[in-house]
Structure 1
């Protein structure tokens, strides 16, 4: 069962290349202006601070997860582990994932070309542990899945104008959150209705609202013979 949402959105990104201080920071600010409570992990992955339990829990407790892929994303193994977690939550907890391809093509993420391919090759060559190859496989599978999700290719959106792209992304997130809220309210009514009906039908002894037995009308049919 999915935990109750604590955050409206979660931002996944790599600090490599200072993208967190530029594009991601501007996106985070725009989300805050819309009143969207967003988890942004400001740890510096370049300094070896590992993917934290707080981040893992925040992913599980967020309604929407935004992953910002950049050219150097794969250089952070913590980011790759995070993507694996995100894809697991998408599958198991039905989380909405929105990928943003900042300076890479979706096909590069899917196929791990260029810098991605080189980084995977280096990691595979230095395979000192039995579990290393399995970890690399999880990375590949997660990136392939993420690269196939419909998202935003910034270089092909609004002619690469970041301000306009951010505005577009925020509108999309707001729209999805509203859809989730409507669906959530609808589900509550469905669950309430199902519970009420099951209590009425299963042993029509008591209803959810009343401690008294339900009144069940009984009809007697009498046949009168005339002689």
Structure 2
């Protein structure tokens, strides 16, 4: 069962998200929070697998709460919710460890599937939209080209192939097919690459690959 925490300052939004997710047999909404401060408290108490959190909230906003959530032992995966698909706040969220983001008009089916994907850790959210964000952010960070390539140089040849595929938004299953390896081996390569590079998730990995111009 995937345990989910909903965080949004609008009660109607939280109610709508709950109505979408609760019918799923493999998803349980364990708590709600109206701001970043109570979100951190709820995460400590309920130990969710996935947090769906609004970017902009009064008081402690989503970006501040994200940093605190990522510091927790065995932190939950965090999906940021936003109204605009090229919101500058989302760029910061991805850099700070968010597993991805969803637009608030995402369809019910896509929302539930995104929660499953993130809980599994096998793919980035909404690949087409996330790709645009990565491209936009990387385009503003061309000065990091040399530094990014130096960081990636610690990877083996096979690990490099896998992380470049991750940057394209491919799932573990698709990477396994393309590179003729098992899905378990792909997961192992991704995990080792994240550890070597000091990163926490696939979005950050993809951003680094784009910074390196690869």
Instruction: Output the TM-score relative to the length of structure 2.
Output: 0.41
Structure showing greater Rg? 1
